[in-house]
Amino acid sequence: MLNALVTNLAAEGETHNPLIPAWYDIIWSGLWFLVILVVVWKVALPKFTAMLDKRSAAIEGNIAKADEAQKQAEAALEEYTRQLAEARTEAGEIREAAREDGKKIVSEAKDAASSEAARITATAHTQIEAERQTALVSLRSEVGSLAIDLAGGVVGETLSDDARATAVVDRFLADLEASEKAAQ
């Protein structure tokens, strides 16, 4: 196609180069280029620069805020770590105090139980001794009356003298106790 255009122009006798525009096109294009350049330079470029400055300031402000937030977060983390360490230390101290209190309570309970057991044992021994004495007195009286009845049956007469009968029974029981102690 370009070949046809060149040959067509060559046939007409013009020597004008088709790649170079006409002088009036160059002038009008240059004029409109200058108008557009002035409009861009005076209107669009300041707005574009202002928008870029605004974005740059916002980005710098956000970076500053992020740095400040990061510093605050690090400070909060350090504070939290410190408080956590203090809480752990305090918890350990509380556990140790509780163990000591527990040991004291157990010791006091053991002492109280031992003293209570000793008191109960002493009371039981006293009660047993009292019951033994009561049983011994009762047994003496029963054995004495049986012995008097048996002796009266053997002798054939009634032993009515209480003082004499009591003396005989006491001597008999004393002899019986003495023989038991000698056997052991």
158: left (phi over 0), alpha (psi -120 to 50) or beta: beta
The answer on pLDDT for 144 being more than 90 is: no
Q: Does the global pTM surpass 0.75?
A: no
Distance CA 99, CA 8 (A): 115
**Residue of 26 and 137 predicted with greater confidence:** 26
Q: What's the whole-number mean pLDDT along residues 49-54?
A: 93
Please check whether residue 82 is in contact with residue 76, taking contact to mean a CB–CB distance below 8 angstroms. no
Please state the rounded mean pLDDT for residues 161-178: 71
Per-residue pLDDT of 85-132, as tens digits, reads 999 999 999 999 999 999 999 999 899 989 999 999 999 899 998 888
Confidence bin at 133 (pLDDT 50/70/90): confident
Higher-confidence residue: 163 or 118? 118
Bigger pLDDT: 62 vs 166 = 62
**Angle of CA points 73, 77, 80, to nearest 5°:** 135
